[in-house]
Amino acid sequence: MSEGAVPWVLHVDLDEFLAAVEVLRRPELGGTPVVVGGRGDPTERGVVATASYAARELGVRSGMPLRTALRKAPEATFLPADHQAYEEASASVMATLRGLEGVVVEVLGWDEAFLGVVTDDPEGVAQHARSEVLAATDLHCSVGIGDNKVRAKIATGFGKPRGIFRLTDQNWFTVMGDRPVVDLWGVGPRVSRRLAGHGVRTVSELARAPVEVLTQEFGPRMGRWYHELGSGLGPSVVDDAPWVARGHSRERTFQENLTSPEQVDEAVRDLATRAFADTAREGRAVVRVTLKVRYAPYFTTIYGRRLPAPTTERDDVVAAALALTERLEAGREVRLLGVHAEMVMPDGPGRADRTPVRGRI
């Protein structure tokens, strides 16, 4: 290690991961529009899990209804999600990253991880990581380099596809200052609109916003988080402790809208039972139940309740989920339901993801 070596955080993000795995199995699809999601039938209800870059150039985006994706890219190949294949590919990638010398690996999901390394050449480490992953899996990735996790994560977007980008305190405002706040990690459209109500539209404006205004709007924890986010501040320690799920979710998109309370109750009962079964396999008690509802045509809201006491009884979890259906808007048709069971965190080593992200329940 040279005298100029300092700690760096690298964010490795696999390019168009699900689509790339499918192309490995179907090489003839390389360079063509590929959309992965649902059961692979774009005439059914479902959402895009990921799209190849060729499909993105046609306007297809993750989370978009499959039917909308079909209108934007009628020539695309639509494929069902194959979770086992993606888990196997992800495991190979993460094993490769863990094999890098002098690197600490913190897995974030199937297709991304933070690397912690002390070096005087972070670009060299990033390029070595990219080369090793490609050699081992035939999958391409991009790498963001930062002096903390927030900057490394955001930097990756500037490196895509198949590239490397460095974002630090030195160039944060040069790169990010005039960008809209929605470009920040953890700031979605809803938060962006709330910030706009206070005259905060750009990253620089968020950094200059009085912290008192933000804490009044978002609460003491999230208000301070958003204030620090405007300056690119964030944690810098990469933790290789095993990731521990905070809970388990089950959801379902219905091909025909649910129109009666009886249909909703039946579906919620089934989803809650399956979510509870996932928690039971871990042997951890459930402490909170959340119900996600997507009304027709496409409005989503979330209801939640903390249980009176942690429970390992299925009937308690099902009853809590069913009680939440009483808060649904009467007369509105339902196109999607989801039940999330949050568990007691275990003692001992383990890491739960507490980073604010978009779209989680």
List active site positions.
112
Sign of CA dihedral 124, 126, 128, 131: negative
- Strand 141-146 with 6-14, pairing: antiparallel
- Rounded CA-CA distance 326/79 in Å is 37
Q: How far apart are the first and last CA of the chain?
A: 43
CB burial of residue 20 (10 Å; 0-12, 13-18, 19+): buried
- Rounded CA-CA distance 126/357 in Å is 25
Contacts 24+ apart (CB under 8 A), 37-43: 37/66, 37/69, 37/78, 37/80, 37/81, 38/66, 38/80, 38/81, 38/253, 39/80, 40/78, 40/79, 40/80, 41/66, 41/78, 42/66, 42/67, 42/69, 42/70, 42/78, 43/67, 43/70
- Strand 334-343 with 247-258, pairing: antiparallel
Evaluate whether 208 touches 228 at the Cβ level (below 8 Å). no
How far is it between the farthest Cα atoms of the chain?
69
- Rounded CA-CA distance 186/192 in Å is 10
H-only helix segments in 179-219: 189-196, 203-208, 211-218
